[in-house]
Amino acid sequence: MKFGSDPKAGPTVLIALVAFMPTVAHAQQADSTPRLGLGASSAVSAHVGIGQFKHASLGTDVGVRLDLGYFGRKRVRFLVGVDYLTTHIDRTDSLGTRVSGSGYVFTGVAEANVMTSLARVVAPYAGAGVGVDAVGTTISNEQIGRLYNTNVFDVHAQVGAYFRLSERSRLQAEVRGTGARVVRRFAARLGYTWFYNGLP
């Protein structure tokens, strides 16, 4: 069965994976200090930026992230979050008819970032992850509407840096590329991160 045939399938899979994490983390730990899950969470962030995919204009990209612990080393951080990209689509269908309308991509993501020391004034990082994109449009053309009203899986990679503002807060700058059917895209973002549970 194709993924796009069940609009609830993708988000359900992502939610199930996140919900299962505390169980996995508990099984990994012999001591009382959690590595993964809400008990290991150390930071929350929010961002705003621009993004674009083929046949669409530059659009506004916003999102949030929650740090949920680490893999092996404390600087390999696991994060989950959501992104929302809104834009304007302008393209032709197979008959050459030009159509246009607003479009959006709502994404649930799970990713890992490898960070350098946050004690630095500037701390670069790089990472990769997966996501589920819920794509939608107001275009009424049957062919184009069917193309952009779907759910797809994505893979993405990102590089960025944290800039020290205070002991627990950082300005964040990031660029990322996302591979996905129909909405392969890039984004550039600025954000704010609060390390409420101390620095990793």
CATH topology of domain 3-27+37-194: Porin (2.40.160)
At 52 the pLDDT is 97
At which residue do the structure tokens 């893979």 appear?
Answer: 155
- Whole-angstrom Cα distance, residue 50 to residue 174? 11
**What pLDDT is recorded for position 35?**
85
DSSP characters over 2-31: -GGG-TTHHHHHHHHHHHHHHHHHHHH-SS
pLDDT for position 72: 80
Q: With the C-alpha atoms ordered 125, 128, 129, 131, is the resulting torsion angle positive or negative?
A: positive
Encode pLDDT of 41-75 as tens digits. Answer: 889 999 999 999 999 999 999 999 999 998 888 88
Closest CA to 65 of 11, 124, 18: 18
For residue 154, the model assigns a pLDDT of 97
Q: Are 106 and 133 in contact (CB under 8 A)?
A: yes
pLDDT value of position 15: 52
Q: What angle do CA 130, 52, 12 make, to 5 degrees?
A: 30
pLDDT in tens, the chain (200 residues): 444 445 555 555 455 444 544 444 444 444 456 788 787 888 999 999 999 999 999 999 999 999 999 888 888 999 999 999 999 999 999 889 999 999 999 999 999 999 999 999 999 999 999 999 999 999 999 999 899 999 999 999 999 999 999 999 999 999 999 999 999 999 999 999 999 987 87
Strand ranges for the chain from DSSP E: 44-53, 59-71, 73-92, 98-115, 122-137, 150-164, 169-180, 185-194
- The answer to whether the beta carbons of residues 113 and 161 sit under 8 Å apart is no
| pLDDT at residue 29, rounded to an integer | 45
Please state the domain extents for the chain.
3-27+37-194
**How far is Cα 168 from Cα 45, in angstroms, rounded to an integer?**
12
**Encoding tokens for residue 130?**
């997966």
Query: Tokens 């500037």 belong to which residue?
Result: 122
